[in-house]
A and B are shown apart, each in its own frame.
Chain A
Amino acid sequence: MTSATSPVVRTASERRRAGSLAWHVGALLVLAVVLYPVIWVLGASFKPSKDIIASLDLLPTEPVWANFSGLADGISGISITSFFTNSLLYAVLAVVGVVLSSSLTAYALAKIRFVGRNVLFTLMIGTLLLPYHVLLIPQYVLFRNLGYIDTLVPLVAGKFLATEAFFVFLMVQFMRGLPRELDEAAKLDGCGHLRTYWSIVLPLSRPALITSAIFTFINAWNDFMGPLIYLNTPSKYTVSLGLMMFRDQEGISNYGSMIAMSLVALVPVIAFFVAFQRYLIDGMATSGLKG
C-alpha cells in the first residue's frame, strides 16, 4: 500500500513546492517595484549631486559622505537639530494629547451607560466623514484672534480635545471587546469610574493605545499643511517646513543634501514602523473591518 501511494504524495508535494516558488518570485517582483523608491533614495544619498538625477545606477559607483556632512551647516543659519527638536515636541505633545483625551472619551462611550451616549457616538463618527478643509479657515481665524499663530497650540489643541475621531473609534471598539465582568467586579469592589478607567481599562487597552500613539506620532511628524499654515518663524519650523526651506535655498543645484536631508527626515518614521509594524497593521485591519 505504501509503495503505491508514495509517488502520488511526492508529485503533490513537488507541485506545492513549485507553487510556493512561483508565489515567492511573484511577491518579490512586486516588492522590488514597491520598494524601488526607498532603495533609490538610500543609494542617491551617497551619490555626488550631479549624478543623482543623471545616473541610472541604483547604487553609487563611488559613495560620498558629502551630502550628509553638508547637513551639519544647517539651512540659512538654522541647524538641522532645531527642526528635529520642533517636530519631536509637536509629535510628543500630539501623542500625549490623543492618548489621554481619546481614551477618556472612548471609556465613556464604551463603558458608561449615560443619557445621550448613542447620539454623541453618532456625532463623533459623523466628524470622521467631514472634510477638514471646511474647518481650516474658521480655525485659523479663531487661533489668530486668540493670538496663537506661530505657536504649537493650534497644531496640538485638537489632539488634547479628542477631535481625532478615528482614534476614539479605534479605542471604543477595543474597550467594548474587553470582558464586562472585569469592570463590573471593580464596581462591586467600590471602584469609581476614574479608578476603573485608570487601573483596569487603560492597562488592558494597551494595544489600541499603542496603535493610536504610533499613528499620531507618524502623522504629526509627516504633517505638512498644519505647520505650513500656522508657523511663520523659521526657528520654529518642523522638519517638513525645513525641507521646503532647503528646496528654496538650494534649488535644483544641490540635490545631494536635499536627498540626504529627506532620508534623515524619514528615519524616525521608519524606525517607529519597524519597531511597531505589527500593532500598526493589526490596528488598521480591525478598524477597517468593523467600520
Chain B
Amino acid sequence: MALTRLLTKGLFSRPLTEPAPPIEEAALKRLGERLDVAARLRLGRSLAIRQVDAGSCNGCELEIHALSNAFYDLERFGLRFVASPRHADVLLVTGPVTLNMREALLRTFDATPEPKWVVSVGGCALDGGLFAGSYACAGGVGAVLPVDAHIPGCPPAPEALLGGLIALIEANTRRSGSNR
C-alpha cells in the first residue's frame, strides 16, 4: 500500500532535482590550466570519482553523500562514485591527512590509472585546517599528493562540491573543444 502510494505520488509530483549551480569562472580557469588536453579528450563528459577519507571529521563525507540525493542527483552530470580506485578518474580527498592514513592514501593514488586528478575537499584537506601542526597530521592533501583542484568549505555545501566537480568536466570540454 505504502509503496503504491509513494510511487503514484512520485509520478505526478514535480521533480525535486535542481538546476546545476553556477560554475565559478576562476575555478574553471585554475582547473583548465592544469589539465592535459590529450588526456582530457579521452575522458569525455563523465567522471568516475573515488572518495578517500584521509582523516576527516566526517562532516565533508556527509555533504559528499548529499550529492546523491534527489536535489543534487550528481549522476545527471556524468559524475558517479565508484568503489575501486582502479575505476576512477578523480580522487576526492578529505581530511588533514592523518599520518595513520598517509600510506593508504598513497596506495589508493598508485592504484588509480592515468589520467587521474586529485581534488581536495574542505579546509582540513587544504592545509590541515584546525588540525595543522598536530603530531598526527601531514597537514593537507597537498603535503602527500599533487592536488589539481580544491573545493573550500568546512564542510563545503553540496552546491559547492557539485560546482567544483562540474567545473572539472567543463574545463575538459572547453579545452578539448578549442583544440579541435
A joins B in a complex: no
| A contact residues vs B (CB 8 Å cutoff) | none
